[in-house]
Structure 1
């Protein structure tokens, strides 16, 4: 393995560790849940999964998704707070959707970067938005695929599409937040890259 490959691997490992730690900190401290009032709140816990897929690749994204899902499972088992939380002790509901969104984010990012002259910031924003919507649909879908009868009983008979409609406003807010944060990260990387190039030229 060459030096460049070693550095690349080291950077990927560092990013994976950093984003995994970020997910854990945001989850444990509840900073990953932003309340916007009595009826609206958004989560940003899935955004590190999206970012690591774009910055490092699919294997790293799957790992951070696994960390996110495992944290959700542990919190649901140890300190459930909502009517649906007890169902998240099932890894097919808590872990599987969070790993699938890594595949979606990685695939979208790769596809968008095949478009000629597509700015990285725009591609990142689109990836963040679509993946976030998919995250909501996958989590709610897994609840009904694996625990349909129990979920309906807990929600007074509410069906899948009714639940999607009820969560729609929050899902859009989360998608907008993901769009802004993902685009901002790549805008920051672009600015940092230009500054680094200027410093190299001056030397």
Structure 2
């Protein structure tokens, strides 16, 4: 029993360290593309892995680490004009906390309809990533309208930008999450059962 607790603590600590490392090293966790004025992230993947593997408390912890890291990056080294929106914790931290919880519950909910655990993990990873994008972009719109207006102009341009982010970024991030998270979770489950 104690050995299993140590293994779980090791896995959670490893995921936490990965999140911090991804935030600390430019262009790893937040891949910024200045020409297109957008940023793609893969930092949500360790949150999904931890949440699906260890439950909502771990999802909340890793979501907090993701959010605080996002806030710190926006404060210390903003690259894009839109990065300043993430200096508001209501944009950078709160959506990531909710996302960490949502990942677990979306996975558990999908298990009620999908009996194949790997398919349910994929559905959980994809749907939670889409929820993450909706929460972050919605918060950015609500709390960052002034900055978005300065960067993109009138409201129709902002709407086009946000819809493009949902249509391109969110789908890419969701597919990458499913492709990476499922085999990693499967391997970690085997490790934890030893």
Q: TM-score range by the shorter chain?
A: 0.7 to 0.9
Structure 1 position 28 matched with structure 2 position 27: no
Higher RCO, 1 or 2 (CA under 8 Å, sep at least 6)?
A: 2
Tell me whether 1:141 sits opposite 2:135 in the alignment. no
| Deviation, structure 1 residue 41 | 6.4
Task: Point out the more displaced range, 94-103 or 162-171.
Answer: 162-171
Task: Tell which structure's C-alpha radius of gyration is larger.
Answer: 1
Q: Distance in 2 between matches of 1:54 and 1:169?
A: 25
CA distance, structure 2, for counterparts of residue 8 and residue 65 of structure 1: 23
1:123 aligns with 2:120: yes
Listed as ranges, the matches of 1:89-168 within 5 Å are 89-115=87-113, 118-159=115-156, 161-167=159-165, 168=167
**Cα distance per residue 1:99-149 (max 9 Å; x no partner):** 111121011111122336x22211111111111111111111001222323
Residue 42 of structure 1 is matched in structure 2 by 40
Report the Cα offset of residue 13 of structure 1.
2.5
How far apart are residue 150 of structure 1 and its match? 3.4
Task: Tell me, in whole angstroms, the C-alpha distance in 1 between the residues paired with 2:155 and 2:10.
Answer: 43
Q: TM-score normalised to the size of structure 1?
A: 0.81
* Structure 2 portions without partners, runs of 5+: none
Tell me, in whole angstroms, the C-alpha distance in 2 between the residues paired with 1:60 and 1:187: 17
CA distance in 2, matches of 1:85, 1:95: 14
Query: Which secondary structure does the structure 1 equivalent of 2:81 belong to?
Result: coil
CA RMSD in angstroms comes to 2.7
Q: Which residue of 2 aligns with 1:18?
A: 14
Gaps of at least 5 residues in structure 1 are 197-203
Query: Normalising by structure 2, what TM-score?
Result: 0.84
1:56 positional shift: 0.7
- Which runs of structure 2 are paired with 1:64-83 in the superposition (5 Å)? 64-83=62-81
Q: Which residue of structure 2 aligns with residue 199 of structure 1?
A: none
Residues in 2 aligned to 1:67 and 1:186: alpha-carbon distance in whole angstroms: 19
In 2, Cα distance between equivalents of 1:23 and 1:98: 12
The 2-side partners of 1:26 and 1:78 are apart by 15
The equivalent residue for 1:88 is 86
